Structure 1
């Protein structure tokens, strides 16, 4: 899916004042591209993902998917949050099947549930319940639940933020493999500079709230990437400088 954001602004009314969150953001993402949105916590990155998911409408500007204004949620665009938000009384299979179930497609297309489970590496855990899973496994279920809808745009809102460091490294590599196998367009929100550079083809750097795009970094390196790659080290230094952090 091609994404086009044109002068998108967003503000929220809080008591008797207006809080600006996005300030005339414009961005194009090509079909099949992996783009990371990098910026300080609370700057408005997640708000932009919600606009792309159709969960909110911009207060100004337009947000387009394949040239069509995004005005409501659609199975072709799925958002994965930091918390897996699994239903504790449903098994892995039942949690993954939620999207198809809601669309009335489960009976005819139940094979897609197993395909999604296999894709995220949870074969054999179909009958497990969330309390029996590790944090990384639970996040894999959340990814499978998103992928079962066969989306064309995958929106990732810091999905690895609460994982331990070793699990996070493993899941970073898994996200790249999932993206490469599926061919979908992916946008990742993160405030982890290294994660953005390891996963994305382009890194869009945002200012503090209200978010404005301050820079774009092109990561022209093949996968899998290595943290000690001199080019990535240089880009990391540049990104930290753009964020006002010491390098």
Structure 2
């Protein structure tokens, strides 16, 4: 298990990359017609920031992550990692999805090593696999198979598979969405600890306003599809954060209001 995050700020300079999303529009082709998904999205993320995206289901949050990852290109606009235009996937930007998607026939160690193996550098960097497993608390399960892991452990293995590449930008697409509530709270603390320790830039999609406020420096609230930015909210609290903090409760109320959910407060 990853050590809990402390109240200290990141103890070393950020190693993450800056991310610039400029005038991005995107649409899907469905039955010969264009379905707008993103509209005039402009966002600047500084190196080492932890930014959460919140918005209605189906508004385009995950699509924006795919554009950042380089898995798709926008219809118009530009995305840049530092000063380099994003046009294709790169090991410096790694995605962790809601499902761990571990290969059932490979051990935990072999699953984590997959990225290095694909790059042809595993022989020279085997220690990085062991280091990543230690970082997420799975060293004792290096020889286990995915069916022998709990949901939380499987997601830790997916995180280790991402971290072994030493990403500059960690892209998280609802990675805790299918975990039980207690495991989810534990994993939230572990994500903050990993981010503080490594200093990568983090972009998280979540449907949980509380989760966004516990984890992120900034919360970006998106509109209904086609998604545009409705609000960019700074979360000015040190870590660890407490769910009962009245300041966080007030921000949560603001966010729910922006999403049209005032009555649920």
Could you tell me how far 1:96 is from its partner in structure 2?
A: 0.1
Deviation at 1:127, TM superposition (A): 0.2
For residue 133 of structure 2, the aligned residue among 114, 117, 128 is: 117
TM-score by length of 1: 0.99
TM-score by length of 2: 0.92
2:158 maps to what in 1?
Answer: 142
Q: Could you say which structure has the greater relative contact order, defined with CA pairs below 8 angstroms and 6 or more residues apart?
A: 2
Question: Which segments of 5 or more consecutive residues in structure 2 lack a partner in the other structure?
Answer: 1-16
In the other structure, the counterpart of 2:35 is 19
2:82 aligned residue: 66
Residue correspondence of structure 1 range 90-239 to structure 2 within 5 A: 90-239=106-255
SS class of match (1:231): helix
Gaps in structure 1 of 5+ consecutive residues: none
1:83 corresponds to 2:99 = yes
State the 1:16 CA deviation: 2.4
After the TM superposition, which parts of structure 1 deviate over 3 Å for at least 4 consecutive aligned residues?
none
Give the count of matched residue pairs: 247
Q: Give SS of 1:124's match.
A: helix
Q: What are the Cα deviations for residues 4-56 of structure 1, in whole angstroms up to 9, with x where unaligned?
A: 00010110101122110000100000000000001111110110110010000
How many Å apart are 1:58 and its aligned residue? Answer: 0.3
- How many Å separate the matches in 1 of 2:107 and 2:92? 24
After superposition, the C-alpha distances for 1:133-169 in whole angstroms (9 at most, x for unaligned) are: 0000000000000000010000000000011111100
